Structure 1
Amino acid sequence: MNDRVYKVLEFDKVIHQLKEHASSSPGKELVATLEPSTNLEEVVRWQEETDEAFQVLRVKGHIPLGGIKDIRPSIKRAKIGGMLQPDECLDVASVISASKTLKRFIEEIDEVDIPILKHLSEEITPLNELERSIKSCIDDHGQVLDSASDRLRSVRRQIRSFESRIRDKLEHDTRTKSKMLSDAIITIRNDRYVLPVKQEYRGAFGGIVHDQSSSGATLFIEPGAVVELNNELQEARSREKQEIERILRELTEKIAQDAEPLNLHMNILSKIDFMTAKAKYARKIKGTKPEMNDRGIIDMKQARHPLIPAEEVVANDISIGKDSTAIVITGPNTGGKTVTLKMVGLTTLMAQSGLMVPALDGCKMAVFEHVFADIGDEQSIEQSLSTFSSHMTNIVDILNHVNDQTLVLFDELGAGTDPQEGAALAMAILDEVVERNARVIATTHYPELKAYGYNREQVINASVDFDVKTLKPTYRLLIGVPGRSNAFEISRKLGLSEEIIHKSKTLIGRDSQSVENMIASLEESRRKADQDYEEAAKVLDEAANLLQDLKRKWKQFEQKKEHLYKQAEEKAKKEVEKAKQKAEEIIDELRSMQQQAHIKEHQLIDARKQLEEAQVEFAQKNQSADHPASQQPNKSLQPGDEVKVLSLNQEGHIVEQMNDSEYQVQLGIMKVKVNQQDLQFIHRPESVKEQSLSTVKGSSYHVKPELDLRGERYEDALHRLEKYIDDAILAGYPQVSIIHGKGTGALRQAVQNFAKQHPSIQSSRLGGMNEGGSGVTVLKLG
């Protein structure tokens, strides 16, 4: 890197614009010393610093940098024993206050990750004691306060007293001897109060003459009556000056003691101001943080020259270093070729300086050891160098330093000499640079170089577009398409006759015509491809919008479905509660009936019918949430299985299967018909399991867990009872209920006597309140 490249690529103008965004003179100094780095790690760190400040500006809108003064000279003078003036001490307090404000601001940021700024703020040590000492002695206008010391307060009180007494005496003279005065005022000469006395009345006042007017007509006399008071005033002022100097020396010593942290504060504030300036400049040019590499890859989308106004600049895509190492740009003058060269070179210098580049997000920039540019006419009359000689001198110097870490920019390579020789030289120079694996972008007018890229793998053609209809350049860069001369089209547009144009075409070689036709075809293909790309992008946007719309509607559908599910669930729960309440009412009624002396058969039948009618069949969305034990589907239920009726919250056992989906369930003395969905399997007794495997009476054999003997004759009842007990034992029932009614009690006594004599009956008891009371005997089998 050298100053000539900075000037040619106008990097100095970027520095000038950047300096305007710095808030302090130390920050501006850092901007002025900014130069590109050739160290990748350093460049990446610089970019991260800029990005952090940029993110803070994005979320907060500002970074507080007010009050930063350059106190470094004052600190240096304080360290060597000098005495600082009040305004210098005030600047030190201002820097301390600014550092505290900035530290507090950074510490409170939690919207973005800013490790660099956080680290810098942590190094700031608030010097509160020094700040209080300065603020307690010096006011905001740089004046030492009366309260700085008791002695200073006393001296200034004396000064005000002397001044008041002097003015009183002189004002008396201005009233009584106004005719002897040029003007009835009190003025000051040589720090002493005097009166403007006319020359002819000099003897009337006496005292000391301190000055006279230019005409000599007025003398400025200190009357003898105030000479002594003026002397005392001067002595008081001298004591005041001595006390002020003592106070300032004391403050200076304190500043010298904190010189090291103060210098650190200055460095940190300057650094953050510098970072903020880069971030503000990035916001101005709409820059983005580039992804840096050391492989020579530059890839920018919609890149813009930062020095061209936003309303005038044309954005272009540029890519080099990945598929090709050289770009040859052809096209008419004023078409934008040179601007493209400068844009690439300038953005490279900016990126290597830690500045964002004006391009779309995701751009890639390379760190080069050298950036060379041969741009513009540098003809030197003093050195007797022609345009060609000037260019060749520069090119020779460039070739002496080119390597694989170099970016070379050639403008009008080989111009200024014979076209054939110039074209040959241009191709040879490009070959040399390409062979050294440098990155090179060159512009040219030579038609021979239009086909240069087709014969070399690492070289790609490009051109700047030109609108033949308007005879104006569009400044658009077309990668992969060489430029056309457009001479014939422009001439025809300007009115040149067709005969002359036709004759001109016959005079050029067939090779040139073929090349021009090829270029025309490529341009047409490129334009068609651009149109197709724009249409495809439009379709893609529409598809993306449609996708977003579908996602939004699907989300609404899911939300509505969930809402309906919840409504159905709430409705189902209400029905369940209603059924449970109805069941409880029926059970309460049955219990009250059991407490009566006699229970009519038809009453039980009616109650059972009401209970069956109270059942509710419905599907619940979250049945497993309300009934955790029913999360698994019911097994194939069999008579004797212990189950729970969910809607009634009552437990019982299966009596028999009525059909494919309904079972008869024994709940105490009641038998109810229950849908399988309303049953929850609890337990299957071992005897039932064994019976399911037994073939004694076949799988279709069923026996009820109760026997009703009411209305039977004594002998018939005992015969039925004996047979029933055998069947119940085969069925594996652990216990059975024998319904004999209350009546006279004879049948009950017969059942109990039978139970005592039967070897398979372990015990017997009367039924409980929910089992039929004394009208039922419960037999335990075993």
Structure 2
Amino acid sequence: MNDHVLRTLEYNKVLEHVIKQTTNAVGKELAQSIKPVTDLVQIQKWLQETEEAATLYRIKGTIPLGGIHDVRNCVKRVRVGGRLTIEELLQVADTIGNGRRLKRLIRKSAEEAEIPLLLEFADSMYDLKDLEDEIRRCIDENGTVNNDASTTLRNIRYEIQEKQGRMKDKLDEILRSPHYQKMLQDPIVTLRNERYCIPVKADYRGAFPGIIHDQSASGATYFIEPAAIVQMNNQLREKILEEQREIERILQQLSNRMAMEADEVSKNLETLGYLDCVFAKAKVAHQMRAIQPKLVDTGQIVLKKARHPLLNQESAVPISLHFGDDYTLLVITGPNTGGKTVTLKTIGLLTLMAMSGLFVPADDGTQISIFHHVFADIGDEQSIEQNLSTFSSHMSNIVRILNQVDQKSLVLLDELGAGTDPTEGAALAMSILDRLYQQGVRTVATTHYSELKAYAYGHEGAMNASVEFDVESLRPTYRLLIGIPGRSNAFAIAKRLGLHEDIIELAKSKLTQEDTKVEDLIRQLEVARLHAERDEQASAILKRETEQLRKQLDSERQSWYQERDALLQKAQDEAHRAVKRAQQEAQSILQELRDVAKQEHANIKEHRLIELQTRLKQASPELVKQPRIRVSKSNAKKTVKPGDTVMFLSLGQKAQVVEVSGKDITIQIGAMKTKTTLDQVELLGSASGSQEKRNLGMMKRSTLMVGMELDIRGRIVDDAVAEIDKYLDNAVMNGYPRVSIIHGKGTGALRTGVREFLRHHPHVSSFRYGSYNEGGDGVSIVELK
């Protein structure tokens, strides 16, 4: 893509928004180098990266990209044995640390969202925590080499503190001495030329023993290093120089340590810079309310409420169009300052943005095509230096375009043929459009020439469009109208401004019959469009009102259901309380009977009491809530057959299909059979084959009302086991918690066989022999699941 097109369409201004969102030098350089490409796969990868970054940005709000420094020069220096400064080493540590935090954030976020490309970048980063820790150990956050950096440094600094302490004591002694107090300008210690000095009055400079290092501006004070501490100062300076040499050695050691991982540091920095650029794209997309466009390479452009990215996104009038499929040539007409040029630039700029991996400010459903070339001739390009007029400049540019275009090109022409005689300009414009049309080039052109309106009508692959103008307010609305050419509106505007009617009528009479027909046709199209828009708006209002009514009805129906359920629940609770009181009273009576039986050794069997208690529990009412479901058409069409599980809608209960006869079916709910129709049930599950027969068998067996004990005395083991199996199925279906199997004592063979069978039965939770008043070893008490 040539730089002329990028400048013309203001692509660089969009890029500046991305550059401003970067946080480090590497990311900024990458953002500055963004250019449109024609590789569809590469662009889709870029867009996916931006989409993942936008997702992460939405989840986390902020991304830790701060504190990443451009340490490329540091890497170069350590590779050749150079020594880094304290500040540079801290920048290296900060970059490593912030890179590690970003890596951790991406990995953790990958558990919440699909961000495979970002995760791949995170996984490619090296873990350099050991290098960071070593730098942090030796240098604190204030930029001071720590005492713990080396034993030698710690010892040197201890000696420095010791010498400074002795010097302080000696200086304090001099300042307190009565002999010297009259000689001192001030009783303080100051530093001159890195030597400790005392301010002495000029009159006593010869009487005060020591070395003069400085003099005040007035000459009244001399700064003298006392002779008593000269040697101490010398020793202190030596130790300070030793400290500096040791610090330099530590810095060199850290630089050498970094040199061992220079490649890893460099690669991490490249990855962090790239991620910085990706997140900058995502931030710009968020600011522009931009979306990821669908990409194709077929030349088709579909814009859904697209906005120019450099305009205020809140006030910009969106445009929508479908271009490059049914028609490859779009001719836009309309008044000046009506938005023709903005429309042209929006089409071109959004195409370049998408080809650069940038999101575009538009609504979902927007589609951008990849073009090999994008050409634009927009604006006043008059060149004084080249002594070219506006027309000549435009023609020079158009000549270059015509020499380079192909079917994979997008051409944008503003005010085609302007700047010369209208008749010749219109003819030339039509000839240029003819050439582009014949080559199949996607072309969008704006013009004032009425001849070009008819041109679009006369070519199957061409389409007229216009920017709307409100005659009443004499202002453009900036709306793009596809399929309708723009009217000149000159007569209407003149009339609104007060021009006499006679003059306007005289002007109309000078128009050719063909011009009048074209204007009338355009006016009729506008009237039809306005009527269609009003109908569409009325339909939209009706749709919204209908939707509101539906929501209101749903809400009222839901409230009714809740109120009904609450009343049913209240009634059920009251019934349960009444039954519970009766059960408690019955339980008390049963307990008294047990106590009497124990005292009088009465033979009252426990399982009889349990059976009575179970029947009492079954007397508790169960109020069934009315279902809120209806039979779906898809379910109604499904074939219902015996053995299927269905929902009986009238009671809201699951049931088993026993028989199907046309639209009538017989269903089984627990122990109850009933007849109903297909539209009163909803298919839940289908049975087939032997399983269906087994289910039917189970249903038939479950209809038997059995007691809570089974007497199998006198039977052989095989017959007894078969009878027990049927009995346990029916007991479970009747909801019994436990039953009694009376097998007697006898030889013990039947008892042993029964207990072995019970041990592996799926309905049996546990079993035991009966107590003395339950029949003893001749009865097995079985707890059911």
Alignment of 1:653-692 (within 5 A): none
Partner of 2:138: 137
Partner of 1:156: 157
* Structure 1 pair 77–644 and aligned structure 2 pair: CA distance change class (3 A): closer
* Structure 1 pair 627–513 and aligned structure 2 pair: CA distance change class (3 A): closer
After superposition, give the CA deviation of every residue in 1:417-469 in whole Å (9 maximum; x if it has no partner): 11111111111111111222221111101110111110111111011111111
Partner of 1:379: 382
- Distance apart, 1:18 and its partner CA: 1.4
After superposition, give the CA deviation of every residue in 1:462-498 in whole Å (9 maximum; x if it has no partner): 1111111111111111111101111111111111111
1:14 maps to a residue whose letter is: V
- Please tell me whether the aligned partners of residues 377 and 414 of structure 2 are also in contact (alpha carbons under 8 angstroms): yes
Alignment of 1:48-447 (within 5 A): 48-109=48-109, 110-170=111-171, 173=174, 177=180, 180=183, 185-213=188-216, 218-447=221-450
- Distance apart, 1:225 and its partner CA: 2.7
- Distance apart, 1:223 and its partner CA: 3.4
- Distance apart, 1:141 and its partner CA: 1.7
- Please tell me whether the aligned partners of residues 183 and 208 of structure 2 are also in contact (alpha carbons under 8 angstroms): no
Cα separation, 2, equivalents of 1:205 and 1:366: 91
- Please tell me whether the aligned partners of residues 624 and 630 of structure 1 are also in contact (alpha carbons under 8 angstroms): no
Cα separation, 2, equivalents of 1:82 and 1:643: 91
1:528 maps to a residue whose letter is: H
After superposition, give the CA deviation of every residue in 1:343-377 in whole Å (9 maximum; x if it has no partner): 11111111111111111112101111111110111
The match for 1:452 among 452, 455, 463 is 455
- Please tell me whether the aligned partners of residues 466 and 474 of structure 1 are also in contact (alpha carbons under 8 angstroms): yes
2:315 maps to a residue whose letter is: E
Cα separation, 2, equivalents of 1:182 and 1:373: 82
Partner of 1:503: 506
After superposition, give the CA deviation of every residue in 1:173-215 in whole Å (9 maximum; x if it has no partner): 5566566556554333332233444554432335444444556
Which stretch of the first structure deviates more once superposed, 282-291 or 146-155?
Answer: 146-155
Alignment of 1:691-730 (within 5 A): none
SS in 1 for 2:206: helix
Partner of 1:29: 29
- Distance apart, 1:335 and its partner CA: 0.6
Cα separation, 2, equivalents of 1:168 and 1:415: 93
SS in 2 for 1:204: coil
- Distance apart, 1:226 and its partner CA: 2.6
1:360 maps to a residue whose letter is: D
Alignment of 1:737-748 (within 5 A): none
- Please tell me whether the aligned partners of residues 341 and 441 of structure 1 are also in contact (alpha carbons under 8 angstroms): yes
SS in 2 for 1:400: helix
- Distance apart, 1:273 and its partner CA: 1.4
Partner of 2:6: 6
Q: Cα RMSD over matched residues?
A: 3.8
After superposition, give the CA deviation of every residue in 1:279-322 in whole Å (9 maximum; x if it has no partner): 11011010011001101111111111111113431111122112
- Distance apart, 1:543 and its partner CA: 3.9
Partner of 2:629: none
Cα separation, 2, equivalents of 1:271 and 1:347: 23
- Distance apart, 1:554 and its partner CA: 6.8
Which stretch of the first structure deviates more once superposed, 55-64 or 171-180?
Answer: 171-180
* Structure 1 pair 651–133 and aligned structure 2 pair: CA distance change class (3 A): closer
After superposition, give the CA deviation of every residue in 1:611-630 in whole Å (9 maximum; x if it has no partner): xxx9x9x9987586999885
- Please tell me whether the aligned partners of residues 576 and 647 of structure 1 are also in contact (alpha carbons under 8 angstroms): no
Cα separation, 2, equivalents of 1:212 and 1:237: 26
- Please tell me whether the aligned partners of residues 371 and 408 of structure 2 are also in contact (alpha carbons under 8 angstroms): yes
1:40 maps to 2:40: yes
- Please tell me whether the aligned partners of residues 565 and 621 of structure 1 are also in contact (alpha carbons under 8 angstroms): no
Cα separation, 1, equivalents of 2:274 and 2:702: 80
- Distance apart, 1:145 and its partner CA: 1.0
Partner of 1:706: none
SS in 2 for 1:51: helix
1:151 maps to a residue whose letter is: T
SS in 2 for 1:108: helix
- Please tell me whether the aligned partners of residues 569 and 621 of structure 1 are also in contact (alpha carbons under 8 angstroms): no
* Structure 1 pair 407–555 and aligned structure 2 pair: CA distance change class (3 A): farther
* Structure 1 pair 642–471 and aligned structure 2 pair: CA distance change class (3 A): closer
- Distance apart, 1:14 and its partner CA: 0.9
1:225 maps to a residue whose letter is: A
Cα separation, 2, equivalents of 1:642 and 1:324: 74
- Please tell me whether the aligned partners of residues 345 and 371 of structure 1 are also in contact (alpha carbons under 8 angstroms): yes
Alignment of 1:517-528 (within 5 A): 517-528=520-531
SS in 1 for 2:257: helix
- Please tell me whether the aligned partners of residues 672 and 703 of structure 2 are also in contact (alpha carbons under 8 angstroms): no
Alignment of 1:594-613 (within 5 A): none
- Distance apart, 1:562 and its partner CA: 8.8
Number of equivalent positions: 622
Cα separation, 2, equivalents of 1:644 and 1:26: 80
After superposition, give the CA deviation of every residue in 1:725-772 in whole Å (9 maximum; x if it has no partner): xxxxxxxxxxxxxxxxxxxxxxxxxxxxxxxxxxxxxxxxxxxxxxxx
Cα separation, 1, equivalents of 2:570 and 2:704: 24
Cα separation, 2, equivalents of 1:198 and 1:32: 65
- Please tell me whether the aligned partners of residues 671 and 702 of structure 2 are also in contact (alpha carbons under 8 angstroms): no
After superposition, give the CA deviation of every residue in 1:523-577 in whole Å (9 maximum; x if it has no partner): 1111222222222233333444455556666777888899999999999999999
* Structure 1 pair 281–202 and aligned structure 2 pair: CA distance change class (3 A): same
1:646 maps to 2:646: no
Percent identity over the alignment is 46
* Structure 1 pair 622–513 and aligned structure 2 pair: CA distance change class (3 A): closer
Cα separation, 2, equivalents of 1:642 and 1:404: 79
1:469 maps to a residue whose letter is: E
* Structure 1 pair 389–192 and aligned structure 2 pair: CA distance change class (3 A): same
- Please tell me whether the aligned partners of residues 624 and 631 of structure 1 are also in contact (alpha carbons under 8 angstroms): no
- Please tell me whether the aligned partners of residues 572 and 620 of structure 1 are also in contact (alpha carbons under 8 angstroms): no
Cα separation, 2, equivalents of 1:250 and 1:12: 45
- Distance apart, 1:332 and its partner CA: 0.6
* Structure 1 pair 436–172 and aligned structure 2 pair: CA distance change class (3 A): farther
2:112 maps to a residue whose letter is: E
Cα separation, 2, equivalents of 1:159 and 1:239: 10
- Please tell me whether the aligned partners of residues 282 and 356 of structure 1 are also in contact (alpha carbons under 8 angstroms): yes
- Distance apart, 1:98 and its partner CA: 0.8
Cα separation, 2, equivalents of 1:171 and 1:567: 94
1:415 maps to a residue whose letter is: A
Cα separation, 2, equivalents of 1:622 and 1:567: 21
Which stretch of the first structure deviates more once superposed, 505-514 or 620-629?
Answer: 620-629
- Tell me the TM-score normalized by structure 1: 0.72
2:208 maps to a residue whose letter is: F
Cα separation, 1, equivalents of 2:558 and 2:288: 40
5+ residue gaps, structure 2, are 598-618, 624-649, 657-666, 676-699, 712-732, 735-785
Which stretch of the first structure deviates more once superposed, 470-479 or 542-551?
Answer: 542-551
